[in-house]
Chain A
Amino acid sequence: MSRQYLIRRLMIAIPSLLGISIVLFTVLALAPGDPFGELASNPAIPPEVAASLRAKFGLDDPVWTRYVHWLVAMLHGDWGFSFASRIDVDTLILQRLPTTLIVIGAAQLLAILVALPVGVLAGTRPYSLFDQIANTLAFIGFSLPTFFTGLLLILIFSVRLDWLPMVYRADLGATGWRWFVEEVKQSIMPVAVLGLFQGASLVRYVRSAVLDVVRLDYVTTARSKGIGERKVITRHVVRTALIPVVTLVALQMPVVFGGAIVTEQIFRVPGIGSLLISAMLSNDTPVVMAVTFVFACLVVLFNLIADILYGWLDPRIAYR
């Protein structure tokens, strides 16, 4: 892999990001709704207030001027401010990033930690009892939507058993060990719901990838050379089988930053997902624009990272 390749890929990313931002901006501008709708429908507030706010926030300009303004400001590092709370968008996002990373990141980690060993074991012993059980559980896992498992866990662990809190609080008001214990307690349910949901589908991918590789001639050769089974699996099988899995995981990474709208809503996790949904509901364009654009950037970035990882995992893949 050459440096030129990297530079070229980054150059290609620029027009595609520009394109994405134009599409996002137009769609948001065309979408129905008005951030000051609540003002307009309130008889106690004179219409001039909404009108002056619209003028102040530049909402009456044509779409393309607004887009250019936004782009120029964005390039200067100014993300604009939320219409709903009048706070700078970057502050809003940064406020919610730690929680998102902790909860969704832990869920992804859990998914990988569960899926890798289970998938590999199931793949190397196809149709064994373990494989059958793992398969069944995986099917159940990704067939059940998160809003269902979330509510189920709440019913069992919060309402019936009263072990875990059902509301996630970003500000626990405790320090040291107590903070850690409480944080873990309140994270268990959301992390479990998300992690197991994603882990379940990942198990299926890992299993089929391993299944494909394990039958190949070079694996038989490795075995016949007398290398131990454990080494065959870890060094020869898994490394090859991981290539498609890496793509999948890499493309999942932006989701970690994007949050999980449904799960966040159920457990009241103040992540990016709940920020996005409330911004959409109140037609808070600058926030929606910023969050979706950051998301787009991450997708592009992680695509690139996935491609680079390929080269590392499989030297036959060369980039020019």
Chain B
Amino acid sequence: MNERELRRLIDDVKSGGLSRRGFVQKMIAVGLTAPLATQLLAFSGVAMAQNAPAYKPTKRGGGGLLKVLWWQGPTLLNPHFAVGTKDQDGSRLFYEPLAGWDPNGNLRPVLAAAIPGREDGTLAADGKSVTWKLKKGVTWHDGKPFTADDVVFNWQYSKDPATAAVTIADYKDILVEKVDDYTITIKFDKPTPFWANAFVGPRGMIIPKHLYADYIGAKSREAPTNLKPVGTGPYKFKDFRPGDIVSGEINTNYHMENRPYFDAIEMKGGGDAVSAARAVLQTGEFDFAWNMQVEDEILLRLEKGGKGHVVISDGGNIEHIQLNTTDPWTEVDGERSSLKTKHPTLSDPAVKQALSMLVDKQSVQKYIYGRTGVATANFVNNPEKFRSKDTKYEFNIEKAAEILEKAGWKKGADGIRAKDGKKLKFVFQTSINQPRQKTQAIVKQACQKAGIEIEVKAVTASVFFSSDVANPDTYTHFYCDLQMYTTTMTQPDPEVFMNQFCSWEVATKANKWQGRNITRWRNQEYDDNYKAAQVEVDPVKRAAMFIKANDLVINNYVVIPVVARPGVVAKNTKLTAEISGWDNNTWAIQDWYKET
């Protein structure tokens, strides 16, 4: 899909020939995220869809205690320090952003009065500024009013390197100005097509100025409010024990009508995913549990109890296999997989193509992941609606063998193909995790039939994913031929995500293996395209460039996507909770209610 086609599609949406939803799904199919797609529309003058959540309760409170289970409990409740989703989810009970991302990638206002748009001039045509109008009459839990000063303060707080906030990337390059008490303007130093990062979504929660003003910078750890959040959210803080429990009680001054429904909330941590699923689906002791990393077979069995069911939400996580472009078995200047080497066999495109045909994604989905892993051809998620159209991947042992045969890889006496004395023998590593070992076995079996020998290797997750410079078994060292893990897309905008294939990001000894390009793939066309996208003013052109980037990665067999890993949560049948793959699990916690 090129720029012209993109424009035509956008025009179709404008004229009503194509639905917004249809457009977003088309964009996802070519490797963009839903939020980016809706931003494209907003920029082209198509207003964001305002789909209000279905909410039935007609009065505030009365719902009793809401019990939710996070098998890894929150350890921090300051959203600017919240690294993991567990901490962001916990903070979101008390703190709120200006707006959140709904399941379709649309922005829904929370502390904002409305979503900025081109129609009312709040979104500048040159992409260099955006103006947010804040909701009036919102108060912090301690009764102080919420104003533009609070928003501006969050920017100052986060951008100060001494604060060491994990949200710094969203705030350091922008300028936030107060226009009046309920209006702020964000100014960008260059045209920014993706304008909804700061103050939005999981990393955009706003903390109160009056309680944090003295704790900006180096003193950030000492703020008493870090442990006793005072926010604007539907629940007021009650108790917090890191890793164990976060509890809150109803905020009777909450700024949304008739909300929240529950009188109190309790977020319990600890234990494991399977027993968490059991506590929701089978015994009904809890109303909701996050991140069900459980085999679908077990989930299906537990669901039979009828007390609860599993909810799946599309997101940007992909389980994929990486092919090493460098030689992991030769040491050059004290490092293996050095840039000075070339992989002896994987450098042949025919071998890579054959390998991609030997990954039986359908079986992996059918027999291992079920609903929790959907076979995919793209490096970015691919919804079911468009899967059939996308015929880029196939599983075909005969065809793979044929390709290898044609390229001169002949079977030897031991059944393993070889060419010029180099055998097709690969070491395939991943972390210890049952579904991954099963996937390894499926790949190994198919490869064996095609004359490729695979030696599987499994590394403890805590070692595999560590950033330990001295340990050769980490995924960033990539001291083997193939490896598999899930890459997570933590931001709705793909720019940061896609830098993992840029040549300057290569992980090497020199940068202590901190570069993000693990496969060490270097491609001039990709680099040029990426650099052009970074400075591209026109959001449509930019989107087309990211689509091209995705195509380059897939067509060059840099990685083989296996399954998309959607978000999986378990909830009580009576509980209504809207889950979005583009935001926190608790992004719409104010709208949760239970049918009686």
Residues of chain A touching chain B, judged by Cβ–Cβ distance below 8 Å, are 32-34, 37-49, 52-53, 56, 81-82, 84-87, 92, 95-96, 154, 158-159, 162, 165-167, 169-171, 173, 264-268, 270, 274-275, 278, 281-282
Contact = CB atoms under 8 A, between A and B. Distances in A.
Interface of B: 65, 69, 72, 75-76, 81, 83-84, 161-162, 164-166, 168-170, 172, 203, 218, 221, 226-227, 239, 241-245, 247, 264, 266, 268-272, 275, 278-279, 282-283, 285-286, 462-463, 465-468, 470-471, 490-491, 496-497, 499-500, 514, 516
A170 B165 CA distance: 31
Given A44-B496, A274-B243, A85 B75 contact: yes
A268 B271 contact: yes
A268 B245 CA distance: 11
A278 B285 contact: no
A33 B462 contact: yes
A48 to B, nearest CB: 7
Nearest to A99: B244
Given A40-B514, A268-B270, A49 B243 contact: no
Contact of A270 (B164, B270, B514): B270
Given A38-B83, A82-B242, 7 more contacts: A43-B490, A43-B491, A84-B242, A85-B76, A167-B268, A169-B245, A173-B266
B301 to A, nearest CB: 12
B83 A39 contact: yes
B216 to A, nearest CB: 14
A49 B282 contact: no
Contacts of B169: 44-46
Closest 8 CB pairs of A and B: A270-B244, A85-B242, A85-B75, A268-B270, A268-B271, A32-B468, A40-B467, A84-B75
A159 B75 CA distance: 30
B166 A45 contact: yes
Given A41-B465, A43-B496, A43-B516, A170 B471 contact: no
B243 A270 contact: yes
Contact of B497 (A43, A84, A165, A166): A43
A265 B244 CA distance: 11
A81 B226 CA distance: 14
A159 B467 CA distance: 41
Contact of B465 (A37, A52, A266, A268): A37
Contact of B490 (A44, A86, A159, A270): A44
Given A43-B497, A86-B221, A159-B282, A167 B227 contact: no
Contacts of A169: 245, 266, 268
Given A32-B466, A41-B465, A173 B264 contact: yes
12 contacts: A33-B466, A43-B490, A43-B491, A45-B169, A85-B76, A85-B242, A86-B81, A166-B279, A166-B283, A265-B271, A268-B275, A274-B270
A81 B76 CA distance: 13
Contacts of A38: 83-84
Contacts of A167: 69, 268, 271, 279, 285-286
